[in-house]
Amino acid sequence: MSETTTVTETGGTSDPLGDETLAQRALALDAADELGEHRERFALDAGTVYLDGNSLGALPAHVPARMADVITREWGELRIRSWDESGWWTAPERIGDRIAPIVGAAPGQIVVGDSTSVNVFKAVVAAARLAGEGRDEILVDATTFPTDGYIAESAARMTGHRIVPVAPAGMAGAAGPRTAAALVNHVDYRTGRLHDLPGITAALRAAGALAVWDLCHSAGALPVGLDAHGVDLAVGCTYKYLNGGPGSPAYLYVAERHQAAFDSPLPGWNSHSDPFAMTPGYEAAAGAVRGRVGTPDILSMLALEAALDVWDGVAIEDVRAKSLALTDFFLECVRAYVPEGRVATVTPEAHGERGSQAALSCANAPAVMAELIRRGVVGDLRRPDVLRFGFTPLYVGFADAERAARILSEVLTDLPA
């Protein structure tokens, strides 16, 4: 567990009156929830509390029909014509512009395609090149998702830089005249801790370095403000809170001010200024298109595009307000129901430091999560001892939170400590 993690002991004794009161409150909160009507737009079953949207978002119910049309008509009938007539060729930028308002970006700065890992590589190498001569270190979030660290190390070897692991809380103070860039996770994947994107970005820019943010656990769950906070480059996946589907393509944000000098380490024919000229020499296209590489994965790309329809008319600020209310209520229920000493909260209590998940440390966590799933509460875990519960406000309600905490208490009572 990292030194920046907050651990709070939690536990209590349930009684029938307390249980009834929390259950009644949950129903009242759901009745007043203005986002609650969006739940019907997802394929969910009444017997399951799905709290793993921070790993794989639920299926928007209209996506299968859209994909049937893509496969039978656009591919089956129009075939090659669909690159033009169905807009396949422009999908990476078009879908990027749909993601842009969710993460606080103006149009023309996000391109969709490839995996998060590939986009991390593009962003880190490009940031090191943009920083120029005399800056030979890349700061990396010491608590980062492992792949980000692996990719950053490879990018450093390729560009002649050295990696400096730094806890996010110390990132601002670590940046100096030799710092080219920093790769930071907006939300910690284990604990759900929200890191200070505005403050860290400002400190990096003041030091002359570039800020590269991984938004995998924040985009679609809370306001990001890429443009407002002066972020240089960012990457993120689309299969968590954006509900794009398993393995759906990731995205790359390149701030408009960097696009003319953005030098991708993976130049491909899709990012060429004249891709169908098929010339041997590479000339980069203008704008965020420079982030493209090869032929996009159209089926998963268009499934993502359809999934983004659930965001029509939704304000990310409302999503954030419900997310905080849900996680507050869940943790309150855990304190009321779970036997004392059986779990400890590792997600920060402070709203300004919390993403959209609640993480609990627990002995015998793998067995506990397996039994929770068997009883209809689907979360996940990070070994050795962290239970993770992701709260996706578009389809998770307060009754879900209460039920999950109550069943967790039952599981912990039934299993040996």
- Same domain? For 102 and 129 the reply is yes
Question: 319 and 307 in one domain?
Answer: no
Does the pLDDT value for residue 400 go beyond 50?
yes
- Shared domain for 170 and 268, answered yes or no, is yes
Give the active site residue among 240, 322, 403, 406.
240
pLDDT tens-digit series, residues 342-395: 999 999 999 999 999 999 999 999 999 999 999 999 999 999 999 999 999 999
Q: What CATH number is attached to the domain comprising 255?
A: 3.40.640.10
Residue 13's pLDDT is what?
45
Residue where one domain finishes, among candidates 311, 339, 368: 311
Contact assessment for residue 147 and residue 214, using Cβ atoms and an 8 Å cutoff? no
**Structural domain span for residue 129:** 64-311
Domain boundary among the residues 311, 343, 363 is at 311
Other CB atoms within 10 Å distance of the CB of residue 164? 17
Determine phi and psi for 68, rounding to 5 degrees. -60, -40
Do 178 and 287 lie in one domain? The reply is yes
382 is catalytic: no
Residue 47 belongs to a domain: no
Residue 410's H or E segment, with its range, is helix 398-414
Does residue 266 lie in a domain region?
Answer: yes
pLDDT band at 12 (very low <50, low <70, confident <90, very high): low
145 has catalytic annotation? yes
Catalytic-residue membership of 41: no
Q: Which is catalytic among the residues 214, 232, 297, 400?
A: 214
Q: Which two tokens stand for residue 6?
A: 């907050």
Region of 208 on the Ramachandran plot (φ > 0 left; ψ -120 to 50 alpha; else beta): left
pLDDT score, position 9: 52
Q: For the beta carbon of residue 184, count every other beta carbon within 10 angstroms.
A: 25
CA nearest to 310, candidates 57, 26, 56 = 57
List, in sequence order, every residue forming a beta bridge with 358; answer none if it has no partner: 389
Residue 4 reports pLDDT greater than 70: no
Would you place residue 111 in the very low, low, confident or very high pLDDT band (cuts 50, 70, 90)? very high
Report field, pTM of the whole predicted structure over 0.75: yes
**Is there a single domain that holds both residue 233 and residue 247?**
yes
Q: What pLDDT, on a 0 to 100 scale, did the predictor assign at position 1? A: 32
Would 136 be classed as within a structural domain?
yes
Per cent of the chain over pLDDT 90 is 94
Give dist(CA 251, CA 91) in Å, integer: 12
What one-character DSSP code corresponds to residue 237?
Answer: -
Sign of CA dihedral 106, 285, 215, 373: positive
Q: What token pair was written down for 209?
A: 């370095």
**Token pair for 360:** 């609990």
Say whether 15 is catalytic.
no
Indicate the average pLDDT of the chain: 95
DSSP annotation of 238 reads S
Q: Are residues 150 and 271 in the same domain?
A: yes
Q: What is the pLDDT of residue 14?
A: 44
Residue 26 sits in the same domain as residue 166? no
Active site residue 322: no
pLDDT at 416: 85
Regarding whether 164 and 249 lie in a shared domain, the answer is: yes
Question: Which entry of 42, 121, 145, 251 is annotated as an active-site residue?
Answer: 145
Q: Are 288 and 254 in contact (CB under 8 A)?
A: yes
For the cut 70, the answer to whether the pLDDT of residue 16 exceeds it is no
Task: Identify the pLDDT of residue 209.
Answer: 98
Which of the four pLDDT bands, split at 50, 70 and 90, describes residue 19? low
User: Do 298 and 319 lie in a common domain?
Assistant: no
Q: Structural domain tally of the chain?
A: 2
56 falls within a domain: no
Judgement on whether residues 69 and 27 belong to the same structural domain of the protein:
no
Catalytic residue among 42, 239, 241, 391: 239
Which residue in this structure is represented by tokens 């590939």?
Answer: 118
Say which CATH number the domain at 404 has: 3.90.1150.10
Q: Can you read off the two tokens belonging to residue 138?
A: 């890349």
Instruction: Please say which residue of 311, 327, 351 terminates a domain.
Output: 311
How confident is the model over 31-87, as pLDDT tens digits? 999 999 999 999 999 999 999 999 999 999 999 999 999 999 999 999 999 999 999
pLDDT digits (tens, 9 = 90+) for 175-193: 999 999 999 999 999 999 9
